[in-house]
Structure 1
Amino acid sequence: MKIVPFLVILLSSTSIFGQYNFSGHVSLENQGNAIYLSLVEDYRKTSRIYLEQIISKTVVDSLGFFQFKGDNLLKDNRLYRIHLDGCSDNADASHFLGTCNSSKSVLFIANNRDTLEFPTSFEDQALCTITSTNPKSSLPLEVEALKEEMIFDFSDYRSEANRKLNSEKWFSTLQKYGENSGEPLVELFIFDFLSDKRNETYAHYLKDISANQYYGQLLDRLKTTYPNTGFTQQFEAEITTDRQLANFKNPTDWSWKWAILILLALSLGLNLYFLITRKSLARAKTNDLLQKLTPQEQKIVQQILMDKSNKEIASELFVSHSTIKTHINNLYKKLEVSSRQEIAAIFKK
């Protein structure tokens, strides 16, 4: 009977801590290739593979099967990536960063309790569909499909009018999709795309962030769902900075320009003050050190600063070579140094 409570505790602890199981199939030609599981905490690093994101590695078996399982993931939803290394063994050492044409990857949402399967499609395509116990796992894939539609709209006509219309349309479409998903991680994934300086959408983003309350509302959702996380703090810092930048670029809003100019002037003034103060303190310290030296030792210091040898100093001061050596040894003790270079460093400041 004593074993029953133990089993109850064991089973309950298993359900509390959970265990994930991510598995799938790829084409048989990938047999023996490495496949990686990464945790993507920085939403600005979703477009490629980063070394610091990788948390696990396995190998595709002879049937094209791979599996990641354990209980070391976070209990809350996060963005993860599975990346298939399709490079040959003799490829460059950095090939797992996604530089090979045959490499494939997929972004998905999961937590430590989820079971996910990545089957191959009817065209034998890998990592393009997800079956999951987490209903939010495939949301990043759906966003990618929307982004493809958006890119097609932009490329259809390259005129300025078309760019403006599509920016407004797709900002609204993607932001509403993210908000309706009920998952702030998806909204961050979308925000990364829309606010990317390399994209056609960036100019509209700077206008949008000044007038649209969406960004503040997203911050509230992040603080509620993912408080005290690095990506929530990162988002708050970014939108604060971008709002200031957007207002600074607006010629009708001179208050921000004057504020930034005043801050720059104050910064410059403080830097000059600290520089002058530092130099004054250095001069005062040098003078104090000189006061500790005898007149003859002060003369020898001046000769050392002129990079003269002991023999040259002895000739200049009309004393013996050994006398100069004695004076220099006394200098070492008084100044607490051990070389002529250190003496020069003190008095050349």
Structure 2
Amino acid sequence: MCFCCFGNLLYAQHCFNGYIDNERWHNEVYLSVIDDYRTLKGINDEQIISKAISNAQGYFEFHGNQLEGSNKIYKLHVDNCSDGDHEANHFEGYCKDSKDILFIAKSGDTINFPLGFEDQVFCNVKSTNAKTSAFIKIDSLKEDMRFDYAEYRSKANRNLNNNKWFKALHEYGKSLKEPLAELYIYAYLSDRSNNLHGYYLEDLKVNTYYEHLLERLKTAYPNSSYTKQYEAELNADKYIISAISSEKPAFKWMYLVLGLLLLSLITNAYFLYSAKKIKPKSKTDVKEQLTPQELNVLDLLLKEYSNKAIADTLFVSVSTIKTHINNIYKKLNVNSRDKVKSLFNSELTK
């Protein structure tokens, strides 16, 4: 429970709290502000505004008065990267072992993120701000959308679902009466890496929805980065449409798109190749690098002991055990218990 007793500053206090699984995640929880809606997914350390440490039961809490008075997009995330490894492990916003939740909030909001289940961190959000859970509701609808597209993979099915879901998502966004929720939908439908992007451009030619969304954003958030970014992107996409409509500009634009696509494929292939070249070290090399305590932890880890059981056996804290395990992972060039076991059970390392 949050207690915000700061006299005349009471109105500006926010309080976000909840629980995480300390056995699954490090006990650091990060709060970020999202000013660029194209960076909703992934992890950007430059967006982090605060960090909370969960207690032994996994409870965490954020409170303060640094949030703005109007609704903005925020993110809570957890990961299993140490502070020193964030830059390397979060290259281009990607983190292979993290979980996040996007939500809408403003100063003075109180939000509770109850205990999650399985690999999910948060569920059943309770908030004094009726708009907080808008993104979670949209994500639920998007799951239904993905099911429809996957039911039968054909051009006819795609065309049918394009018509159905563009309209359904737009109408649902409007029903939430929050332009930021509509912007979340727009960011998804207009994403140039998304298979729906071509249909979005066709829809933009004839659908007045996008202009009306701009009007709603200007009314609700006249000077925000969201409104300025959306207006700029809308104008850029209209220019693309006009370029495609004329023969010569369309020819040049197509080559530009193909060139960018080729560059993207080459870059992805390079990183995949680089990742495959990283091989685990041998059992002998590893043991020579490990400290005596790390060797003790490794032995118990290979015997299927949990973090807590290892901590109890060695009479240290769970946090200390997590640090030892992370050090072992680094020295083995692996990122999971299964790969540690694979290394020590491999015929190549006998």
Same fold (TM over 0.5): yes
**CA gap 1:89/1:43 in 2 versus in 1, 3 angstroms:** closer
Counterpart residue type for residue 142 of structure 2: K
CA deviation map 1:205-250 (0-9, x unaligned): 0011111111111111111110111221111111111112123323
Q: In structure 2, what is the equivalent of residue 160 of structure 1?
A: 155
Counterpart residue type for residue 195 of structure 2: E
Q: In structure 1, what is the equivalent of residue 98 of structure 2?
A: 103
Q: In structure 2, what is the equivalent of residue 21 of structure 1?
A: 15
Structure-2 separation of matches of 1:225 and 1:246:
28
Structure-2 separation of matches of 1:163 and 1:124:
31
Contact 1:38 1:53 in 2 (8 A): yes
> Equivalent residue of 2:69, what SS?
coil
- Taking only the aligned residue pairs, the percentage that are identical comes to 42
CA deviation map 1:87-116 (0-9, x unaligned): 468866534677555421100011111001
1:27 Cα offset (Å): 1.6
Counterpart residue type for residue 28 of structure 1: N
Pairs within 5 Å for 1:110-129: 110-121=105-116, 125-129=120-124
Structure 2 alignment gaps of length 5 or more: 1-5, 254-350
Structure-1 separation of matches of 2:149 and 2:107:
39
Q: In structure 1, what is the equivalent of residue 338 of structure 2?
A: none
> Equivalent residue of 2:50, what SS?
strand
**CA gap 1:222/1:31 in 2 versus in 1, 3 angstroms:** closer
Structure-2 separation of matches of 1:218 and 1:96:
33
> Equivalent residue of 1:68, what SS?
strand
The answer to whether structure 1 residue 244 and structure 2 residue 225 are counterparts is no
Residues 26-35 or 113-122, more deviating:
26-35
RMSD of aligned C-alpha atoms? Answer: 2.6
Counterpart residue type for residue 205 of structure 1: Y
Structure-1 separation of matches of 2:84 and 2:33:
27
Structure-1 separation of matches of 2:132 and 2:14:
13
The answer to whether structure 1 residue 205 and structure 2 residue 200 are counterparts is yes
Pairs within 5 Å for 1:330-349: none
Counterpart residue type for residue 60 of structure 1: S
> Equivalent residue of 2:23, what SS?
helix
Contact 2:27 2:58 in 1 (8 A): no
**CA gap 1:93/1:245 in 2 versus in 1, 3 angstroms:** closer
Q: In structure 2, what is the equivalent of residue 195 of structure 1?
A: 190
**CA gap 1:117/1:124 in 2 versus in 1, 3 angstroms:** farther
CA deviation map 1:149-179 (0-9, x unaligned): 1122112222111111111111001111111
Counterpart residue type for residue 18 of structure 2: G
Q: 2:47 aligns with which of 48, 53, 56?
A: 53
Q: In structure 1, what is the equivalent of residue 88 of structure 2?
A: 94
Contact 2:33 2:47 in 1 (8 A): yes
Structure-2 separation of matches of 1:50 and 1:62:
27
Contact 2:19 2:116 in 1 (8 A): no
**Which entry has the higher C-alpha Rg, 1 or 2?**
1
Structure-2 separation of matches of 1:131 and 1:38:
19
Equivalent pairs counted in the alignment come to: 246
Structure 1 alignment gaps of length 5 or more: 1-9, 262-349
Structure-2 separation of matches of 1:93 and 1:123:
28
Q: 2:126 aligns with which of 123, 131, 144?
A: 131
Q: In structure 2, what is the equivalent of residue 82 of structure 1?
A: 76
Structure-1 separation of matches of 2:167 and 2:236:
22
